[in-house]
Amino acid sequence: MIPGRFEYHQPDSLAAAVGLLSELGEDARVIAGGHSLIPMMKLRLAMPEHLVDLKAIDTLKHINVADGVVRIGAMTTQAELIGSAELQLAAPIVKETSLQIADPQIRYQGTIGGNVANGDPGNDMPALMQALDASFTLHGPGGARDVKARDFYEAAYFTARDDLEILTEVSFPTCTGGYAYEKQKRKIGDYATAAAAVLLTKAADGSCSHAAIALTNLADTPVFCDAASTHLMQSGVSADSIAHAVQSCISDIEPVEDNRGPAEFKKHAAAIILKRSLETAWSRA
């Protein structure tokens, strides 16, 4: 499989990359780890005339934790997320999720920026970012702006990012309560049949002071389950409230039939992983 012809650019600063995108316009695509884009180019489902590779921009590679906020540069790889002791302390759910993405080779290349910016409903990071209430920083010709992960996804492969913008950083509050990322997949390397990111914080009196649930690959965007999260905070965590929350989440999703199974099966799988992830998160809270 040979991709179509393109011209390759490797700017060494963010300003240069933004300038290139503005100059080249819609004929250009940004490439990060390349493990979504290159397969599409090999199939010629993507035929950009210019590739702007972000790999040489060092300011996009960092994991910083300060003042209760985690900031991760877009070109940080999943392997680097897994290996970061600082991140493990600040938000252990990131490692748990990253380890369930694809396989080791792909995690050395795949980046957090590419995973969240691509808009593929099968990507795992978008739901995680919605659960964490993350913000994405976008740099374009007009400067920088932040968009909430919960507002970023419009439809499959359609996001709030403008074509001339580059997603440069994700940031979210540190998160040390109970957590779980549970993913049902046919085999290692596959996208989720159903996956859930869950955060639950237990207050000193045993009530649930914070809850956030978001789902992967069960609609054409990640799904943040607002009603279910609110329900757990209002009624506390019990077998009854978990059952109620699971039903509420299932009513939020719109899975479609594909080679992972019919929609009804996906709802069934989603209910199982939701129950499991809520119980696991609460046991760790």
Q: In this complex, which beta carbon is closest to other proteins, that of residue 10 or of residue 174? A: 10
Helix (H, G, I), strand (E, B) or coil at 276: helix
With CB under 8 A as the contact rule, which of the stretches 38-46, 68-76, 112-120, 140-148 interacts with other proteins? Answer: 38-46
Q: In this complex, which beta carbon is closest to other proteins, that of residue 57 or of residue 199? A: 57
Interface with other proteins in residues 45-74 (CB under 8 A): 51, 53, 55
Q: In this complex, which beta carbon is closest to other proteins, that of residue 4 or of residue 262? A: 4
Which of 45, 66, 188, 204 touches other proteins (CB under 8 A)?
Answer: 188
Helix (H, G, I), strand (E, B) or coil at 10: coil
**Residues in contact with other proteins, total (CB under 8 A)?**
28
Taking the complex as a whole, how short is the minimal distance between the CB of residue 35 and other proteins, in angstroms?
Answer: 6
Helix (H, G, I), strand (E, B) or coil at 199: strand
Helix (H, G, I), strand (E, B) or coil at 77: strand
Determine, following the binding rule CB under 8 A, whether residue 3 of this chain makes contact with other proteins: yes
Determine, following the binding rule CB under 8 A, whether residue 122 of this chain makes contact with other proteins: no
Which of 25, 141, 142, 189 touches other proteins (CB under 8 A)?
Answer: 189
Interface with other proteins in residues 206-265 (CB under 8 A): none
Task: Answer for the pair 275, 281: CB distance below 8 angstroms, yes or no.
Answer: no
d(CA 21, CA 14): 11
Q: In this complex, which beta carbon is closest to other proteins, that of residue 50 or of residue 145? A: 50
d(CA 237, CA 211): 10
Q: In this complex, which beta carbon is closest to other proteins, that of residue 108 or of residue 157? A: 108
The β-bridge partners of 215 are 196, 223
DSSP string, 227-253: HHHHHHHHH-SSHHHHHHHHHHHHHH-
Taking the complex as a whole, how short is the minimal distance between the CB of residue 102 and other proteins, in angstroms?
Answer: 7
Q: In this complex, which beta carbon is closest to other proteins, that of residue 53 or of residue 226? A: 53
d(CA 10, CA 173): 32
Determine, following the binding rule CB under 8 A, whether residue 42 of this chain makes contact with other proteins: yes
Q: At what angle do helices 263-284 and 239-252 cross, to 10 degrees?
A: 140
Q: In this complex, which beta carbon is closest to other proteins, that of residue 33 or of residue 178? A: 33
Handedness of CA 188, 90, 197, 125 (dihedral sign): negative
The β-bridge partners of 77 are 111
Taking Cα atoms as reference points, which of 101, 277, 81 lies closest to residue 179? 277
Interface with other proteins in residues 76-105 (CB under 8 A): 79, 102-105
Which of 109, 171, 174, 207 touches other proteins (CB under 8 A)?
Answer: 109
Which of 25, 39, 141, 142 touches other proteins (CB under 8 A)?
Answer: 39
Give the DSSP H/E element, type plus range, for residue 202. Answer: strand 194-202
What is the binding site for other proteins (CB under 8 A)? 1-8, 10, 34-35, 38-39, 41-42, 51, 53, 55, 79, 102-106, 108-109, 188-189
